[in-house]
Each structure stands twice: as C-alpha cells, then as structure tokens.
C-alpha cells in the first residue's frame, strides 16, 4: 500500500484548529457575559445573541478572534494555492481553476477584515468582510465540487464530489437562512445557522485531504548556473510526476 502523504493532514488540522479557536472565542464571550449561550432563548433586553462576530467583539475574546481569523485566512489561502497547483496540469480550460483560487483568496481576505475590524469599531467594513467570506466562500465550494467530478483525480471524482455537492448545498442553505432570519429579527435561529454554516464550510475544506493524501508538494532551490524555475512550474511538475505514478 502507498503511504499517505503528510500533506493530507494540512486541511484536516486547519479545519480542526480553526473550529476549536472559534469555539474558544464563543466560550470566553459566554463566560464574560457578552453573549447568551446558543442553547438559550433570546428575549429583548437580554445580552447579545451569540453571533460569531459579536462573540469576538470585545476583549479578551476579540484578541483570540483576531488571531484565529488571521491564521485561518493565511492557511486557507495556502490550501487554495496548493489545490490550484494540484489541478493545473489536469485542467485543459483553466478559467474554472483560476476562478476558484480567486474566490477563495478574496474570501480569505474577507476573513482578515472580519477578524481585525470588530463590529463596534467599523461595522461597515466588518460587514463587507462577512459578505466576502460567506459569499465567495460559497462560490468556491460549488466550483470545487464541479471540478472534483470533472477532473476525477485517481478515479475518486464521484467519491469526493458527491459529499462536496451536499456540503455546498448545506453551506448555501445556511447562508440564505442566516440572512433571512437575521432580517426578520430571529436572532437566536440566525446565530445557530451562522455557526452551522461555518462548520459546514470548514468540513468542506477538510475534505481536500482526500486528494492531498496522494500528492507531495515541494519547493526546489537552484543556484545561478541552472535556469530559474518558478514556484508554479515547480509545483506543476511535482503534480505531473505524481500523476504519472498511477
């Protein structure tokens, strides 16, 4: 049996640590009486509902929240680049692959806006970041689901694609419900839906371990006597080499 590539653990650890960090923010905010628990019923005049942004709105929870979102944005961007380079040799029409990378990159930038511009400090910019993260993140999920089935890496397209389509549908439904419920003032249901949305999205990103387990990514460094090799070309050649080993 082929050994599982250690790169398979990157998306899994990313999702686990990001989810754990967000729940730490939630519990800190609950302990400091900044928000009411998700299991409670919201009544007018009570503490704030447990939206993620409200949980990370005031210190000390905001300090942890900023750190979690910045790290998630950075590692999420790295995952998007690795996924792009993995698919690049197999995509005859690269526009969809490029579009997926751009969507996730902008979603990750939105995460930094959410994490660094708290709701009470700059509500407009914070909401822009939220829209970018949820909207473009959802688009990325659908694009990657379609690519998964279309490219069919190692004949696992359907095995990985069907769960991804289901997760994309769950993310989309949660996003729509979140905005609808929030607009109707049903804040507890909206907050629960928001947490579910984020967990579904992190689960989607963790599923890249399925393809990453068969690939190795390397950065090669050469001296001036050899022709320069770009990072993209290096990763592409490594991906092609791995594909040739089928």
As a whole-number percent, the residues of the chain with pLDDT over 90 amount to: 67
Q: How confident is the model at residue 163 (pLDDT cuts 50, 70, 90)?
A: very high
Q: Say whether pLDDT at 152 is over 60.
A: yes
**What is the Cα–Cα distance from 127 to 141, expressed in whole angstroms?**
21
SS3 of 111-138: the string is: HHHHHHCCCCCCHHHHHHHHHHHHHHHH
Task: Please check whether residue 51 is in contact with residue 191, taking contact to mean a CB–CB distance below 8 angstroms.
Answer: yes
> With bands split at pLDDT 50, 70 and 90, how would you rate the model's confidence at 214?
confident
Average pLDDT over the chain, rounded to whole?
Answer: 88
Over residues 57-81, the pLDDT tens digits come to 999 999 999 999 999 999 999 999 9
What's the pLDDT score for residue 227?
Answer: 58
Q: How far apart are CA 47 and CA 50, in angstroms?
A: 9
How many other CB atoms sit within 10 Å of the CB of residue 246? 8
Q: For residue 120, is pLDDT > 90?
A: no
Cα angle, residue 206 at apex, residues 125 and 179 outer, rounded to 5°: 35
Model confidence pLDDT, tens digit, residues 35-54: 999 988 877 667 889 999 99
Total residue count of the chain as it appears in this document: 246
For range 163-186, the mean pLDDT: 95
User: For every residue of 137-168, which 3-state class applies, written as one string?
Assistant: HHHHHHHHHHHHHHHCHHHCHHHHHHHHHHHH
Residue 109 confidence class, pLDDT cut points 50, 70, 90: very high
| Lowest mean pLDDT across 130-134, 141-145, 222-226, 241-245 | 241-245
Is pLDDT above 70 for 10? yes
Query: Where do the DSSP E strands lie in the chain?
Result: none
Nearest in space to 100 (alpha carbons), one of 158, 65, 139:
139
The alpha carbon dihedral of 199, 200, 205, 207 has a sign of positive
Q: Average pLDDT in the 126-147 region?
A: 96
CA distances from 43 to 13, 120, 179, 186, 188 (A): 37, 21, 20, 10, 9
Q: How far apart are CA 30 and CA 235, in angstroms?
A: 45
What's the confidence (pLDDT) of residue 127? Answer: 94
pLDDT at 113 over 60: yes
pLDDT of residue 226: 55
Cα distance between residue 193 and residue 196, in whole Å: 5
pLDDT per residue as tens digits for the range 18-32:
999 999 999 999 999
225 has pLDDT over 90:
no
DSSP 59: T
Which H or E run contains 191? Answer: helix 187-206
């Amino acid at each position: 049996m082929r050994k599982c590539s250690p790169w398979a653990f990157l998306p899994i650890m990313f999702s686990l640590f990001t989810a754990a960090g967000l729940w730490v923010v939630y519990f800190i905010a609950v302990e400091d009486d900044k928000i009411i628990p998700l299991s409670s019923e919201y009544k007018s005049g009570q503490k704030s509902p447990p939206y993620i942004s409200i949980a990370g709105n005031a210190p000390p929870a905001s300090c942890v929240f900023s750190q979690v979102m910045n790290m998630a944005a950075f590692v999420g961007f790295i995952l998007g680049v690795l996924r792009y380079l993995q698919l690049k040799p197999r995509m005859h029409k690269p526009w969809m692959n490029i579009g997926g990378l751009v969507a996730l990159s902008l979603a990750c930038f939105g995460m930094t806006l959410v994490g660094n511009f708290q709701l009470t400090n700059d509500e407009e910019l914070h909401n822009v970041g939220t829209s970018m993260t949820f909207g473009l993140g959802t688009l990325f999920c659908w694009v990657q689901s379609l690519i998964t089935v279309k490219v069919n890496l190692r004949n696992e397209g359907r095995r990985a694609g069907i769960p991804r389509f289901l997760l994309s549908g769950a993310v989309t439904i949660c996003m729509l419900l979140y905005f609808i419920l929030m607009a109707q003032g049903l804040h507890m249901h909206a907050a629960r839906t928001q947490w579910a949305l984020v967990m579904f999205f992190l689960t989607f990103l963790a599923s890249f371990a399925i393809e990453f387990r068969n690939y190795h990514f390397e950065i090669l460094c050469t001296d001036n006597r050899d022709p320069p090799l770009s990072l993209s070309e290096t990763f592409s050649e490594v991906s092609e080499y791995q594909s040739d080993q089928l």
